[in-house]
Amino acid sequence: MGTCPTAIMPLPRDNFTGVLHHWARPEVLTCTSWGAPIIWDGTFDPHIAQQEARRRNLTIGLTVFAVGRYLEKYLEHFLVSAEQHFMVGQNVVYYVFTDRPEAVPYVALGQGRLLRAKPVQRERRWQDVSMARMPTLHEALGGQLGQEADFVFCLDVDQYFTGNFGPEVLADLVAQLHAWHYRWPRWLLPYERDKRSAAALSLSEGDFYYHAAVFGGSVAALLKLTAHCATGQQLDHKRGIEALWHDESHLNKFFWLNKPTKLLSPEFCWAEEIIWRREIHHPRLLWAPKEYTLVRN
Ligand code: UDP
Ligand code: MN
């Protein structure tokens, strides 16, 4: 499992991971069939990535949506923990999309870090809030965010950082292995199966099941990703259908058609409710308790 098969597609070298220490984690898959690294704790040197990011004087965007009751419930913990663990020592710009910019909590930011609160409309259904992120992100990436950031990470707000989440995660197109599903056989993965949907994958399609709570990449790659997902959602809407897991279904379709150039192990977005697994050495982000009755309509 630990060795990297010959890449079948040449991947752009990102220089952030240095030489991956596949041998350090022989018990897990550290490379995809198309040659993209799957980074696990111990397989990369965080200092190499930090130096590379500093040398290039990068600015990294972090987008998060906090609409309706998600703002009070999750945003402060998310931001405070990000200040401790997300891209420490780098230039960071937070984009907080919310229906109440004036209610964004004050959080002391480190040097080289700033926060922009961006107003968005509040959709009635939580599914629509979740899906509306794709067109909103697309617009932002085509505007100020795309101009000031080199790489952008797009995260759910209902989670918090518990460990270093640094430039080792950077690459042109980054996907997160879903903590619930990374050990499941392909045919069981919860892809959209209705052929009428733009997000549909057949039983013989799909590489991994990716979590929409974390994705990232270069501005150019994310412009393409968000356009694909927003268009797919719109097509489905016109047909009066909605994919099983909303934006996540469309994201999975996109990653099937456009292979991510780096995958994050489930350590990068872990759920404490899952029974502890030996391969999970160092969780970087944890899902906050899901109190849907409190935050959803
Ligand atoms: N969200 C929000 N307000 C809502 C619904 C969703 O701000 O009413 C945002 C928030 O960032 C949240 C994300 O959309 O983390 C995805 O929704 P959720 O986390 O509820 O989906 P799940 O992770 O349970 O699939
Ligand atoms: Mn979530």
Q: What is the pLDDT of residue 14?
A: 75
Q: Which of 77, 79, 130 to mutate to test the pocket of ligand 1 (most atoms within 8 A of CB)?
A: 130
Kindly report the number of other CB atoms within 10 A of residue 59's CB atom.
20
3-state secondary structure of 63: strand
pLDDT band at 183; cut points 50, 70, 90:
very high
pLDDT band at 33; cut points 50, 70, 90:
very high
Q: What is the dihedral of CA 288, 289, 292, 296, to 10 degrees?
A: -30
∠ CA 48-174-115 to the nearest 5 degrees? 80
When pLDDT is averaged across residues 183-212 and rounded to a whole number, the result is: 97
pLDDT band at 22; cut points 50, 70, 90:
confident
Q: Which ipTM value was assigned to this complex?
A: 0.99
Per-chain mean pLDDT for the chain: 94
When pLDDT is averaged across residues 146-168 and rounded to a whole number, the result is: 98
Measured between alpha carbons, how far is residue 287 from residues 82, 94, 214 in Å? 14, 19, 11
Q: What is the pLDDT of residue 296?
A: 82
pLDDT in tens, 68-82: 999 999 999 999 999
Secondary structure E strands in the chain: 38-39, 59-65, 91-98, 113-119, 151-155, 159-161, 173-177, 210-218, 262-264, 285-287
Is 90 exceeded by the pLDDT of residue 173? yes
Q: Amino acid letter at 281?
A: H
Q: Say which residue the tokens 């109190």 belong to.
A: 291
Q: What is the pLDDT of residue 16?
A: 85
pLDDT band at 295; cut points 50, 70, 90:
confident
Q: Amino acid letter at 278?
A: R
3-state secondary structure of 85: helix
DSSP annotation of 196: T
pLDDT band at 2; cut points 50, 70, 90:
very low
Q: What is the pLDDT of residue 241?
A: 98
Question: Residue of the nearest CA to atom 17 in ligand 1?
Answer: 130
CB 262 within 8 A of CB 151: no
Q: What is the pLDDT of residue 15?
A: 75
Q: What is the pLDDT of residue 6?
A: 45
Question: Residue of the nearest CA to atom 4 in ligand 1?
Answer: 126
pLDDT in tens, 249-290: 999 999 999 999 999 999 999 998 888 799 999 999 999 988
Please give the Cα distance from 105 to 178 (Å, whole number). Answer: 29
When pLDDT is averaged across residues 17-27 and rounded to a whole number, the result is: 84
Positions marked catalytic: 248
Please give the Cα distance from 239 to 114 (Å, whole number). Answer: 41
Please give the Cα distance from 82 to 131 (Å, whole number). Answer: 24
pLDDT band at 66; cut points 50, 70, 90:
very high
Please give the Cα distance from 79 to 76 (Å, whole number). Answer: 5
Return the ligand 1 atom nearest residue 287 CA. Answer: 23
pLDDT in tens, 91-150: 999 999 999 999 999 999 999 999 999 999 999 999 999 999 999 999 999 999 999 999
When pLDDT is averaged across residues 19-34 and rounded to a whole number, the result is: 91
**Which bound ligand lies closest to the C-alpha atom of 130?**
1
Q: Which of 74, 121, 129 to mutate to test the pocket of ligand 1 (most atoms within 8 A of CB)?
A: 129
CA of 255 to the centre of ligand 1 (A): 21
Q: Say which residue the tokens 């790659």 belong to.
A: 221
Instruction: Please give all residues whose beta carbon lies within 6 A of any atom in ligand 1, as ranges.
Output: 64-68, 70, 126, 129-130, 156-158, 213, 290
The pLDDT > 90 percentage for the chain reads: 87
Q: What is the pLDDT of residue 7?
A: 44
133, containing H or E segment: helix 126-141
Lowest mean pLDDT among 31-35, 165-169, 187-191, 289-293: 289-293
Question: Residue of the nearest CA to atom 16 in ligand 1?
Answer: 130
CB 146 within 8 A of CB 125: no
Mark 11-42 as b/e (b = at least 16 C-beta within 10 Å). Answer: beebbbbbebebeebeebbbbbeebbbbbbbe
pLDDT in tens, 221-250: 999 999 999 999 999 999 999 999 999 999
